[in-house]
Chains A and B, each alone.
Chain A
C-alpha cells in the first residue's frame, strides 16, 4: 500500500461525501417545496416549472440556472458516489472478514447511530441512484410516461400518480431516501465537525436529522398519494 496524502484520505473523502450529500439535501428541500405546489393547481406548478427555466434571465439563457443546478447536482452525485464506492471497498477489507463473516456470534448492537439506517446507507444509496435515473426518464425527460405523455409537468405528474405501482415505486424510493438521510444528515454534520456531544445518548443533531429526513419523506410523498387517492386531479 502506498501512503496517500491527507487530501486523499478517508477523512477527506468523508468531507466530500458530507458536502455533496448536504447539497443534495438542499436541492431536495427546494424540490419538495416545488412539488407541493401541485396543491395550488396546474397553473401554479407549470409556472413554477417554467420559472425554474427563466430564473436568472436575462443574465442567463433560458434554462441556464437550471443547468447550473443540474451541473452542480451531477457533480455532487458523482462525487458522492465516487467517495461512497472508495470507502465501501476499503471498509470491507478493513473489517477483516473470515470466510464471509466477521464474528461467529450474532452481534449485539449498542451503537449510538447504529441503526437500520446506517447499514442501509450503501444499498439505500444504490436504490436512490436507480430511482433517480428512472425518475428523470419519467418526469424530466419524459421518455417513459406511464399514464400518458404531456407537455405540462402537472399533467405528467397527475397521469403518472394515478397508477398504483408508480406511486408504490416512488414510495419505496422515498423510504430509502428517508432512511438514508435519517443517519446521513446527522453523519454529515458530524463529519463537518458540528457534533459537540460527548454523551452516549447522541446529540442534538439526532432529532435534527430525524426532522429533515421526516420532512423530506413525507413532503415528497404527499403529492403522489394525494393524486392516487383523488384529492388532487
Chain B
C-alpha cells in the first residue's frame, strides 16, 4: 500500500523545455549563441529585483549592474558582505587541471553527477563544470587571495573524497574570500548607481501580475524594512531569488541564524514548484550539542577525517574517560565496516554510521550524542608540531567552543544538517515555472541531485551569478520592458494586505510560548523523523505532529513588540511560520520517495548490509511540488542519462 498518496496528489509530468539538445559539450555555447540580446541603450530602462546577495545574488547583481540594467537588491543582514556564503570553509572546485592529474571538465561533470547519486540533470551539471574554469579567473582578477605555491601559482587540494586535486581554497575561509570579492564588485556598482541596495529588508511576498495577453509574470515583491517596520512594494521587469538554503527548518544546523525559507516559500505559495525538498545534506564532522540552550551547530572541516580516527567504546553506556578505555575495547567502526575508504567515506555514510552507533547507546559526551575523533595516533605518527601546522586553527576553534583540549583528549563530533539540495524548481535557464521568476544558488534545486559534493556549492552559486543568469535573464528581458504596474494594481494591494495581515496576526496572538520554543520543537521532529534516516511510519507521525504544532503556533505564540519598529521576534516568528509548512512538505516528499539516494535514506530501502538502495526504475525523477492547501501536487520531471551510466555507489 502506498500511504504517501494520502498526503498528496500526482499531477502532470513536466519537462525542462529550456534545455538544449545536441552534444553535451556544445549545449551551453549553442544555447547562448541563439539567445536574444538587449541593446545597451535599453538596459537602463529594464529593472531586475535581486533578492539575496550571497555568492549567487551578489555576483549576479554586480554583473547585471555592470551590463547596465537597473538592479534593486535586497538582503536581510545589515550588509551584503554577511550572507551565509561567508561561512564556507573548504574550497571551490574548478576543472583547471593545474595539477596535471587527469582532471577535466568531463571528470568534474561525472564526479558531480555520481556524487549526486544520479538525481541531477546532465546538461546543468555539464555547464557547471564548464564555467567552473572561468570562475577562478574572475575571482583572481578581483583580488581573491587564494592559497598559492612558492612559485606564485595557485595551489589546489583534494577534497570530498575525489581522486584529483581541483579544489581552490583560501585557508579555511574560502567562502569569505569569494563573497568579499563578489561583494566588492557589488559595492562598486552600488557606488556607480546601477544597483540600489536595500539592506535589512526582508522579502515577504511575491507579486505576480498578468500581462495584457494574460501571461502571469513575476513583477515585484513586498518587503519589510526591518528597521522601521514599513511594508514596501518594489516592482520590476523580472525577479530573481538567491536566498540560500532552508536547513534551519531543523532549528539546529550549520546555517546562519537568519537563514530562512520565507522568500522561496512565499513564491512557492504563489505557484512556483518546490523541487526535492527532502534532500538534505547532513555533515558528519560538527561539534555536538552541549545543552538545550544551543542555538546553532558549528562545522569542523571535513579535512580532519584525513588524519583523525573515529571510534566509540565497544560497550554501550561506557562512560569512562576516553584515555581509560583500552585499545581492544574501542570500535573504529568506519575502518571496520568500510575497510577500503575507512574514515574517508562520503558524508552521508559517515553521518549515518555515527547515528547508528549512538542509537545503539555507544555515543559519547552529553546525551550520548557524539563519537570520538581521535588524533592521538596522528600526533604520535606525525608529531604534535605537524598536526598543529595542519589543523591548528580547527583545534583552536574546537577548544574555544567546548573548553576541551583536542591535543590531549579526542574530539567529539556529531552529524549536523548542513546543506539543502532541494529548492525551487528551475529550468536550464534558471527560470522557475513562474514566468519572470528566476532562482539562483542554494535556493534552487538545480545541480546537486540528491547529494552535494564538497566544494561545489560555492562553484554553483558563482556559476549561476556570474555566468548563467546574466545571459538567460537578458534573454528574458529582451522582450521587456513590460507594462508598468501601478502601485495600486489589485495584485499589489492584495499582496501588501496579505503581508500586513500576517504581521498583525502574529502580533495579536499573544499566547504563552516563545517563537524559539516552537522552532526547537519543530526542529526536533524534523531531526527525529526526517533526518538521517526516514521511515514511512516516522514520516507519517511527523506530518501529524507538525500539523498539530503549527496549529498551536498560530494560536499560542507570543510575539512581543510592535509592527512598526525593529522587531527581531516578529522576524523570527514570520520565518518559523513558513518552516512549519516547508517541514510538512519535506516529510511528504520523503514519504513519497520510497528509495534511498544521496542525503535521503529510507529505512525500508537498504541492501542487506545496510547500504542505500536506489530504485532508478521508479524514482529517477525530480519531484516538483505544486502548492495546494490540503494535498500538494507532485509533478515528476523524468531524468535521463545519455553520458553517464547509473551505477550503485559503493565504498566498501
Direct A–B contact present (CB less than 8 angstroms): no
